[in-house]
Amino acid sequence: MSSLPMPVVFLGHGSPMNAIEDNPWSRTWRELGQRLRRPRAILCISAHWETAGPKLTGNGKPETIHDFYGFPQALFDVQYRAPGDHALAGRAAELLGEDAGARIDPRRGLDHGAWSVLLPMYPDADIPIVQLGIDTRRPGDWHYALARRLAPLRDEGVLVVGSGNIVHNLRLFDYHATVGEPWAVRFRDLVTDHIRAGRHAAVADWPSLPDAALAVPTPEHYIPLLYALANAREGDVVAFFNDDVRGSMAMTSLLIGTP
C-alpha cells in the first residue's frame, strides 16, 4: 500500500441520469476513477441517506436502491453490485466513537447518491463500499467535528467520497437551464472562496451565508461537503472540477490531496 494518504473527493452528483448518460460530468467522473490510486475500499457519505444519528451499511451484498421516480426504465434497470465491507463498517463505527452513537445497519443498500457517481468511476463494481448516513438535524460544526474522527481511514487505503451538491434547490430547478441563477452562482462562488482560503468554519456555518435560504433550502445535499473538507490535511492541494452551475444546482466538485 502507498505511504501517501488516499485523497478525498466531493462530487456534485446532480440528476441520477448522470449515471447512464455520456456528458461532461460523467466523463469527468470516469476519468477521475482512472486517475486515482486504486482504493482498498470506499466510504461514501451520500445526501440520500438521512438517519437519526450516524449509521453505517453492514450489508455484505448491498442492493442497488432506486430511490427516485419519473425517470426512464433504463435507470431503474441499473444494478451496481459492489460488495460491502463489514470490517470497514466496524472500523468507521470505532473511529466515530461510542459517544456519537454510530450503529451498523445490516440491511441497508446503496442509494443513488452513491452508485450514480461510483458507476462511472468504477464500472466493474469491484471495490467494497460502505455508506455513512447523515443526521440532518445536527448543525454543520457537529458534522465537521464528527467527520474529522474518520481521518485515519485515509492512511488505511480508504477513499472518502462525499456525494451531494453545494447548491441544490429542486423546487426552483429548470431542466433546460444552461446557466446558473445569479443567487446560485453567488453562493457557489462564496463557498468555494471560503474553501480556497481554508475557512472551513464559515463553510460549516452555511445558514449564516448570503443566499443560503435559496441555495440550501434543506441541508442533506450540502452536508457531505463538510465530510470531505474535514478530512483535508495541512498541505493538501484542493482542485475543483465540474465547476459549473445549471439553474438552481451546482455541480462543483473537489479533489483533496494527491491522486
How far is the C-alpha of 257 from the C-alpha of 237, rounded, in Å?
5
Split at pLDDT 50, 70, 90, the class of 1 is very low
Residue type, 97: G
Q: What is the mean pLDDT of the chain?
A: 96
Residue type, 74: A
The C-alpha cell of 254 is what? 473537489
Tens-place pLDDT, residues 94-128: 999 999 999 999 999 999 999 999 999 999 999 99
Contact 229, 213 (CB under 8 A): no
Give the dihedral of Cα atoms 224, 203, 249, 41; nearest 10 deg.
Answer: -20
What average pLDDT does range 50-65 have in this prediction?
A: 96
125: left (phi over 0), alpha (psi -120 to 50) or beta: left
By CB atoms closer than 10 A (0-12, 13-18, 19+), residue 228 is buried
pLDDT for the residue numbered 175: 82
Tens-place pLDDT, residues 131-151: 999 999 999 999 999 999 999
Please determine, for residue 78, whether its predicted confidence score (pLDDT) is greater than 80: yes
Please determine, for residue 253, whether its predicted confidence score (pLDDT) is greater than 90: yes
Domains of the chain: 8-256 (3.40.830.10)
The C-alpha cell of 258 is what? 494527491
